[in-house]
Amino acid sequence: DVKVTQSSRYLVKRTGEKVFLECVQDMDHENMFWYRQDPGLGLRLIYFSYDVKMKEKGDIPEGYSVSREKKERFSLILESASTNQTSMYLCASSLGGQTEAFFGQGTRLTVV
């Protein structure tokens, strides 16, 4: 069974902390994505990666960075967490541009 696994379901962090969200996929997919989900806004793309060490900004990259040192792992980094980054974060992977994406279970991050 294909799998995208996010390291945490729930996280509570303090304002100003550096936060790492980890995502691992076991499908040997080239593409990996980080989305943010907020009520009424759907999912918005933060960053994506199409190969190891390759990354591109999505629609809302401000305040975030990413790392992809290995094909199976894609990390989202909040350099200095702020309360407006309280949200649900979803990681996804896909084989190619036209194929469906597989999603992790999400990480609900609260910044206090």
Partner 1 sequence: AQKVTQAQTEISVVEKEDVTLDCVYETRDTTYYLFWYKQPPSGELVFLIRRNSFDEQNEISGRYSWNFQKSTSSFNFTITASQVVDSAVYFCALTWGSSNTGKLIFGQGTTLQVKP
Residue 33 interacts with partner 1 (CB under 8 A): yes or no:
yes
- Identified binder of partner 1 from the candidate list 43, 52, 60, 77, rule CB under 8 A: 43
Q: Dihedral of CA 5/7/10/12: which sign?
A: negative
- Identified binder of partner 1 from the candidate list 23, 24, 46, 48, rule CB under 8 A: 48
> Residues in the chain, how many?
112
Q: Dihedral of CA 102/26/66/90: which sign?
A: positive
Residue 31 interacts with partner 1 (CB under 8 A): yes or no:
yes
Q: Which pairing describes strands 10-13 and 107-111: parallel, antiparallel, or unpaired?
A: parallel
Residue 88 interacts with partner 1 (CB under 8 A): yes or no:
yes
Within the chain, how many helices (H) and strands (E) appear?
0, 11
Nearer to partner 1, 14 or 42 (CB): 42
Contact positions toward partner 1, by CB under 8 A?
9, 30-31, 33, 35, 40-45, 48, 50, 56, 58, 88, 90, 92, 94, 96-106, 108
